Amino acid sequence: MVNPQKPILYALLALAIVWALASLSFPFGWDQGIFAWVGNTVVDGGLPYRDAWDIKGPLTYYVYGTAQLFFGKNAFAIRLTDLIFLSLAAFYIARLAAKLSGPKTGPWAAVIFVLWYASQGFWHTAQPDGWASMLALFAIGPLLTNRDDPRSYRYLLSGFAIGLAVLIKPIYGLFAIALAIDAVFRYRKDYFRLFAAGTSMMLGVIVPFAIAVGWFAYNGALQVFVDTWLVYPVQVYSPAASPKAFSRAVGLIRFAESGMLVSVAWPVIVVGAVSRRHECSRTFSVLLAWVFIAVFCVVLQGRFFEYHWAIIIPSMVLLGTKGFTALFETIRNERRESSSHGRGLIRPMVLTFLVLVIGLAAVRPALDAARWTAHIVGLVDTPSYYSAFASAEDARLAAKYIREHTAPGEKISVWGWDASIIFESDRNAVSRFGYSMPLIMGKGTLQQKQLREEFLSAVHSDPPAYVVVSPQSEMILGESVDLTDFPEFSDFIAQNYTEEARFGKTLLYRRLAR
């Protein structure tokens, strides 16, 4: 009799591979476009924050810049880089699952991990938060499977991986708590070794941050680095999200409604946690800390974007794999004990959960893979294929138009979130502000006043050839915003520019000849 598990696994693996190929065709979302523009500034010899303004950690832009150096200045480069990171993480999570839950679970864990990641869609993949989840995996994973005393450098390397995640978002330093819990369980009776492990871990966490501080200080940009990456998010960006506990609770509930995969997986994950608790209290405690820290990081940010939840995927896959293993073991025991109470009830329940988890993980990747396949075989033309990617096609066409109607030395300005237009048009921004968030947020604050004055000085001294007016992120801003919210810039456009082209909701204003 054919084991039905293998055909299902092979089908899911084939889906993951086709999705991976399809992902190489994905365009930029708003965030990826911003990161690509800043990364390109780095490639051209500039610095994040000083020469290209954004609030993500510096590691993000250097990864994007490195991708451009190796694979070209295009969306393909970062999608390929993201795929390389995802593949490495999938292979590693397969090894971890095999050691924690049995050798047969490894391939399942890997393919569910890839599909769960893929289910975020083009907008939420190739995001630094996803890479932070992989860094947490490489930091915490080796300690989960090491029953003996780790080598002296293990906590140093794990701390270093967490330190790299800190260079994406400072709050990810909280994952060091999971490392500390592991050390306490191992060395609670040996204070010297506990101190040594803790010191090694903290040194590893600090080193990447120290390197970043030294780099920006060496280039005379330490103050702008601190002001933009550390001060601005605390004083301007974070307060724009509701700080109320009730609103954060509502955010969790809304995610539970929309993030069905997580909601369905929870019961199995709880079973996995309980099973792990009976086998090894140390790995149970570390995994549980991993989950709670991830959820806390999401709640702390208070925005509940889908990619924020990427940080929780590895730990939930490992616990879910263990949960299903424990449940199937219960089914086998049930078969042996024919007189057991409630015989036959567990199997259909477990299979239902398994189908739901796999189905919910696979549905969006399957749609992406199907659309791409239809495009490749000629059933869907290129404009129709890319029109399905939200506003990405409008931005791509606007960039193409600007590239064809300007000379290489001319500059542009974007009032909106589509910094990808700057990157894909291969033209420079008129200022270090490639998108409009810093000019809109923090209404009435000193930061907004200073940033607007800097921007206006740049556009008056060197007027851009085109001003692009594209949609704003109402999800981030919490309100509808247009040019009238920046009257000085609105007047500047009215006096010096005329609308020349329109692509969907993206308007192009050309500078008037004088």
Q: Which of 368, 365, 422, 360 minimizes the C-alpha distance to 395?
A: 422
pLDDT at 279 > cutoff 50: yes
How far apart are alpha carbons 375 and 379 in whole angstroms?
6
> In angstroms, what is the C-alpha Rg of the chain?
25
> What average pLDDT score do residues 370-386 get?
94
Q: What is the pLDDT of residue 1?
A: 36
Residue 298 contacts residue 248 (beta carbons within 8 Å): no
Structure-model confidence comparison of residues 60 and 265, the more confident one? 60
Question: In 10 A of CB 461, how many CB atoms?
Answer: 9
pLDDT at 2 > cutoff 50: no
How far apart are alpha carbons 139 and 150 in whole angstroms?
13
How far apart are alpha carbons 259 and 276 in whole angstroms?
25
pLDDT averaged over the chain?
A: 88
pLDDT at 347 > cutoff 80: no
Written as six digits, the tokens of 17 are 């591979």
Nearest 5°: the CA angle 422, 423, 427 is 55
* Each residue's pLDDT tens digit, 63-118: 999 999 999 999 999 999 999 999 999 999 999 999 988 888 999 999 999 999 99
> What average pLDDT score do residues 360-379 get?
94
Confidence of residue 497 (pLDDT cuts 50, 70, 90): very high
Written as six digits, the tokens of 254 are 């809304």
pLDDT at 152 > cutoff 90: no
pLDDT at 272 > cutoff 60: no
Sign of the Cα pseudo-torsion (508, 23, 141, 330, in order): positive
Residue 132 contacts residue 179 (beta carbons within 8 Å): no
pLDDT at 462 > cutoff 70: yes
pTM metric for this prediction? 0.92
Q: What is the pLDDT of residue 133?
A: 97
How far apart are alpha carbons 74 and 80 in whole angstroms?
10
Domain spans, the chain: 5-368, 392-511
CA 479 to chain centre: 24
Residue 387 contacts residue 393 (beta carbons within 8 Å): yes
The helix or strand, by DSSP H or E, that contains position 411, with its residue range, turns out to be strand 411-415
Q: What is the pLDDT of residue 358?
A: 82
Q: What is the pLDDT of residue 301?
A: 85
Question: In 10 A of CB 186, how many CB atoms?
Answer: 19
Written as six digits, the tokens of 132 are 């932070």
DSSP reduced 3-state for 406: coil
* Proportion of the chain above pLDDT 90, given as a percent: 66
Residue 109 contacts residue 96 (beta carbons within 8 Å): yes
How far apart are alpha carbons 509 and 493 in whole angstroms?
8
Confidence of residue 254 (pLDDT cuts 50, 70, 90): low
The H-assigned helical ranges of 102-190 are 105-118, 128-145, 154-166, 176-187
How far apart are alpha carbons 311 and 314 in whole angstroms?
7
Confidence of residue 252 (pLDDT cuts 50, 70, 90): low
How far apart are alpha carbons 279 and 317 in whole angstroms?
18
Structure-model confidence comparison of residues 132 and 259, the more confident one? 132
* Each residue's pLDDT tens digit, 465-487: 999 999 887 767 777 788 889 99
Written as six digits, the tokens of 369 are 């893979």
CA 28 to chain centre: 13
CA 159 to chain centre: 20
Residues 6+ apart with CB under 8 A from 77: 67, 68, 70, 71
> What average pLDDT score do residues 391-419 get?
95
Structure-model confidence comparison of residues 285 and 454, the more confident one? 454
* Each residue's pLDDT tens digit, 132-149: 999 999 999 999 987 777
